[in-house]
Structure 1
Amino acid sequence: MTKNILTTLSEFFSEQELIEIISTLMKFHRIQGSRDLEKASEYIRSELEALREFDVKLYTYEYSTWYELHPPVIGWNLNECFVELVKPSRKILTSHLQTKLCAVAHTPPGDVEGEVVYVGEGTRLAHYRDKNVGDKIVLAHGNPYLVYRVASQLGVKGFLFFKTGVYEDAVPYLSLFLTPEEAMVAKTPAATISRRHAHSIVSMLERGLKPIVRIVIDAEYFRDAKINVIEATLGEGRDELHAFAHYCHPAGTINDNISGSATLLELAKSFDRALYRGRMAAPKSMKIVFVWFPEYYGSLPYLLHKTSHQSSRIVFGVNLDMIGEKQEITGSTINIIRPPLFMNTTEYEGILIKYLIESLSINRSFSNMVKIVSYRLDVNSYDGGSDHDIYLQFSIPSIMINQWPDIYYHTNLDSVDKLDPILAKRIGVGIGSALYAISSDCLDREVVEMINNAYREYISGYTKLKFDIETLKRLKSMESPTGKEVQKGSIKYRYIGGKGVLTLRTILRLCKSIQNLEDILELLEKQPIQFLFTHYIPLLLMHRSLGIDEIKYYITLEYGIDIDEATIGNMINRLNQFKLIEEVTI
């Protein structure tokens, strides 16, 4: 039965059609809050409504509305962008004709010309000490929102951003995500250039030259931007299995995440063809639900609505985010990102990974005895950065299929030549086959139990094999919170804040003083503190009340790293100051 499902879906999955879907979606500059993002959603919806076997729904929310931790975002469209070096010689550094990433997303329009001042990271007032930036154009490589907030107070005329650590000719994707209120007072245009051009300007400054740059941005703000979430449901039953992908991000970029959203759309078409031709029957035990939304800003209101208004129950989710890359070009590995161990659920996870591995195993061993996985593949502990984060906050066990690292990530060089449609197909078919097997009861209980037991043993052993020897020794001596007697009067912490991702923009709004912000930024500069502070610890405390020593145990168990209790205590104090957690005395 396993092979039959995989074979059937593979036969009806068209690589040619996948490429056509990608070619259409890549034309839209799918920035959050843009009209092109709405057009992309209309295209996805129209393709789904042409299918025969799916129930298609559109959920519409407003970018102008607060959703728990996520603030409103101004509607924004880009028409033109030019960045030109005027002196000491004339040269177009970048333009919308080369890439629409040339304009920082949500930048105000403007036409400015001025001398360039390099401020390094540019996120703190100290970076501007002894620098005259008034009526000048600032060149920086720090977080654009923080740089914009700090430097706008100093009379800056314009912003030029670049990114360190990326390919030198790549123009980066950067954004401001301004609220409508912030957009009303924002007057300074912001553009991006490649690292090569940025270093050239810095070199001029070091030689005593005064480079002059002109920034021309034709963009417009509007307040009625829509968040469109498209849902396509197959089958019957109260319980739902979700496969989802975000369809936002800039025009011309492919792997993040046209690869996931297009593969999901072609997978829906594959199911529709197979059912229409009688090669498969619609699931009767559970529904398979495919969902497309803007990243975070769509998944949060969708799940707030879905979990409060619907009688159905979402039991498992799969996030497709960057899934069809040529590994030999991007340098990536297919990562299966698991839910955190404290959620302690592996039933559907094990089945999905079994089918995915089978779909990715093309070749055989030297003696032709066993199949070999034909791509770089790994199974990893929970990591954040995409919509599975939101599903997990609603206690829905979800995994992410993701290719990482990617040397072209969030740049204009994330282009169609890096796409591997065969790999995208194999991932899509593997996931679709697993969801169908689960929703149709194709596997008897004994086989399911065998898969689950094998997977639990594998995860337990494989996770520990990645830890260093000293960590294994520490784990052996650490006492699990589940087996520990609770002492009366002991202090624990629980999450009481809203759902959503704790971004630097949110942190900035929660900070009551500049010094408080400086302290937080200093704390978050230390890896992996930022991820623990913004993702892991809030999620952990959403699911259970824990003391600092218990939080330390879970971090060590999950990631094999030793974070001292003083650092954890500092993070807890900050979250407490932000009124996101509260102290509980047992």
Structure 2
Amino acid sequence: MGRIIPLKKILKRQGIVLSLLCFSFIIGCSQQPNEEPVDYFTIVRPEFTGKLAYETTDFVEDYWRVVGNTGFNKTIYLIADSLKASGYVLEEKAKENDRFTYRIEKRSMTHQTWEPVSASLQIVGADKPMLLSDTNRNMIYLNSVSTPKKGLKTEVVWVKSLKDLESVSLKGRVVFAEMSARKLYKTAIGKGAIGILTYDNPAYLQPEKNTTSIQFRSLPSQDDGNFWGIALSYEAKENLVAALKKGTTEILVNIQTKRYPSEELTIVAEIKGNELPHERLVYSAHIQEPGANDNATGAGTQLEMARTAARLFAEGKIDFKRTMTFLWGDEIISTRRYIQEDAQRANGIKWGISLDMVGENTAITGGTFLIEKMPDPSAIWTRGKDKHSEWGGEVLKLADMKPHYLNDFIISNFKKQGEYANWVVETNPFEGGSDHTPFLQADIPGLLLWHFTDQFYHTDNDRIDKVSQETMKNVGTAALVSGLELVNASDAFVYDQIKKLKERANLRLEEEAKLSLLALTKGSTIDEEKQIITAWKEWYIKALLSLNDVVPKENKTVQKAIKKALSEMSIEYEKQTKFLND
């Protein structure tokens, strides 16, 4: 255990310490690149309107999408037609000098696909249904079977806990519970229940305000099964509970769904690099899920990015030194497969960027635009300005860190667009759960562009009226500009990142020192605080070293600049942590 410094002594030192933290760095390289950096913002901003992104979102969100079903496949072919119209050539028909190509990958599925048709839920004796799929399209559990066409009548068994199931008969009846179906359905099936009614809306959805919202739920695939589930809105749950409190309650249920053999489709568009085609940036957006923001906006924004890139190339305004790839498919699964199925290709993936829920009208949905960072020390010690979203995240370990310049580079570019467009850009520590995770699991730098908190997240109120064309314009512009800078990165890019990384390290270490001084007054120890600041120092040292993935290590001028930066950072770290050693 470390020793605790008395408050009086800490405050006496604070003025000296904080002044030491306000340092600046000078690169002092003997040579600088002669090339003038390209301002891609001035090129992309006039071209990226968000119109195509919005129109695509409007088309896609009409469908309840899951891999292999009608809406998913129509989205794939809509994207293919749009890419073709902008000059991308079907890969199997492409000639050697065609640099803009696309392909649709088709794979057999081990289970049937599924889509909802219609549903209604009514308490026997009530004047009207509690729920109708026309207005609550998330009411049917994914993978539910159909009832008889005329529906069925059954008694509801209300349970407060899994233990309650032990003492009741369920055969031919339906179970109602306010809990996750994962805890409920296996036991219910085992005891002969024909279906479940559940309510499980988290507080961030503001269910007492959004009383008709239903967050979509799913059952495991059951090609030969006969089980169904209905998720309830807050309003429907309250009505059902009121009826159950009066006594025995029966319901009329009519569910019609489709289950049929299909194939899994993934679409991949590529812009081949003219110098280093084996090195690439991969953008990834998933299509499945039934919402507008989640994730029709990701699919639509990424499509406009791909088409804008093609148009700017055709106009002679940009080129591509490395390959730029756009991937649309099944969340996490398609991205992971793209990485794993071709080791040589995976070895050339230098950066991954996931677009998920990128078009929100935050005045309606709440929350803000977020960049979910690659794992850095804020995912271990979340303090100060760093905050997790309501999604939440596990506390990571030092072994989980992914130091890389991509974090600060993307944040810097998006902040630049934010200042230009008066658009709020924030960050959150790593939490996982989207297409950035397969990149990180493969030790490829990857991060997430998204929004949270969203009071309509995963609900049937996530529709086109919650989407902002302006937001998609901002996200798409910053994401495409960042991609163009990465795929065309050279010495000038490295020098610029060295400068910016040192500035960000300066700010981070200054902030962490202030937080440590405060923490010491509240009972923390020297050892604990030194560990935190040291973790940030080591993270930024490794982030600087990661710039070696842009230029060859034989480039002595760049290596000298990196070495000088590392030396200066170490010296400043010693100054900044002096108060922890006294």
TM-score by length of structure 1 reads 0.71
Structure 2 counterpart of 1:450, one-letter code: K
* Letter matched to residue 494 of structure 2: R
Provide Cα deviations, 1:481-527, integer angstroms capped at 9, x if missing partner: 99xxxxxxxxxxxxxxxxxxxxxxxxxxxxxxxxxxxxxxxxxxxxx
Q: Which amino acid aligns with 2:434?
A: S
Secondary structure of 2:406's match? Answer: helix
Contact 1:28 1:40 in 2 (8 A): no
Tell me the equivalent position of 1:405: 453
Q: Are 2:547 and 1:476 aligned?
A: no
What CA distance in whole angstroms lies between the structure 2 residues aligned with 1:269 and 1:466?
46
Q: Quick one: distance in 1 between partners of 2:357 and 2:467?
A: 10
| Cα deviation 1:74-132 (Å, max 9, x = unaligned) | 32333522223142313222233224322111112223321222224x6x3x1424444
Distance change in 2, residues 1:194/1:464 (3 Å): farther
Map residues 169-318 of structure 1 onto 2, 5 A cutoff: 169-178=212-221, 182-184=222-224, 186-208=225-247, 210-236=248-274, 237=276, 238-250=278-290, 253-278=291-316, 280-284=317-321, 286-306=322-342, 308=343, 310=345, 313-318=348-353
Decide whether aligned partners of structure 1 residues 79 and 401 sit closer, same or farther in structure 2, where only a CA change above 3 A counts: closer
1:55 is matched by which residue type in structure 2?
T
- Residue 140 of structure 2 corresponds to residue 140 of structure 1: no
Q: What's 1:63 paired with?
A: 109
What's the counterpart of residue 353 of structure 1?
411
Deviation for aligned residue 1:472: 6.1
Provide the C-alpha distance between the structure 2 equivalents of 1:95 and 1:175, rounded to a whole number of angstroms: 18
Q: 1:94: which partner in 2?
A: 131
Q: Greater CA deviation, 463-472 or 446-455?
A: 463-472
| Secondary structure, aligned partner of 1:151 | helix
Distance 2:319 2:116 in 1: 45
Contact 1:319 1:400 in 2 (8 A): yes
Q: Distance in 2 between matches of 1:463 and 1:254?
A: 39
**Is 2:119–2:254's contact at 8 Å kept on the other side of the alignment?**
yes
Contact map agreement 1:107 1:189 (CA 8 A) in 2? yes
Gaps of 5+ in 1: 65-73, 364-373, 483-586
For 2:418, give the aligned amino acid: L
1:509-520 matched pairs, under 5 angstroms: none
User: How far is the alpha carbon of 1:33 from its aligned partner?
Assistant: 4.1
CA pair 457-102 structure 1, distance change in 2 beyond 3 A = same
TM-score by length of 2: 0.71
Any conservation in 2 of the 1:247–1:295 contact (CA below 8 Å)? yes
Larger Rg: 2
Contact 1:139 1:160 in 2 (8 A): yes
- Alpha-carbon offset, residue 389 of structure 1: 1.1
| CA drift at 1:47 | 1.4
Q: Superposition RMSD on alpha carbons, in Å?
A: 2.8
Cα offset for 1:136?
1.6
Identity across matched positions, percent: 18
Q: Paired residue for 1:446? A: 495
Asked whether the 8 Å contact 1:205–1:211 carries over to 2, the reply is yes
Deviations 1:7-45 (A, max 9, x none): 321211133322211121112221234243122212222
Kindly provide the CA deviation profile for residues 238-297 of structure 1, in whole angstroms up to 9, marking residues without a partner as x. Answer: 2111121111111xx21111111111111111112212122x22211x212111121123
Question: Which consecutive residues of structure 2, in runs of 5 or more, have no partner in the other structure?
Answer: 1-35, 89-99, 377-399, 536-582
Total equivalences in the alignment: 451
Residues of 1 paired with 2:255 and 2:270: CA distance?
38
C-alpha distance 33-461 of structure 1, shift in aligned 2 (>3 A): farther
Instruction: Find the aligned partners of 1:88 and 1:117 in 2 and give their Cα distance.
Output: 17
Report if aligned partners of 1:102, 1:193 keep a CA contact under 8 Å in 2.
Answer: yes
8 A Cα contact 1:78 1:219, kept in partner:
yes
Residue in 1 that maps onto 2:372: 337
Structure 2 match to 1:509: none
Contact 2:351 2:444 survives alignment (8 Å): yes
Task: Please say if residues 374 and 407 of structure 2, whose CA atoms lie closer than 8 Å, have aligned partners that are also in contact.
Answer: no
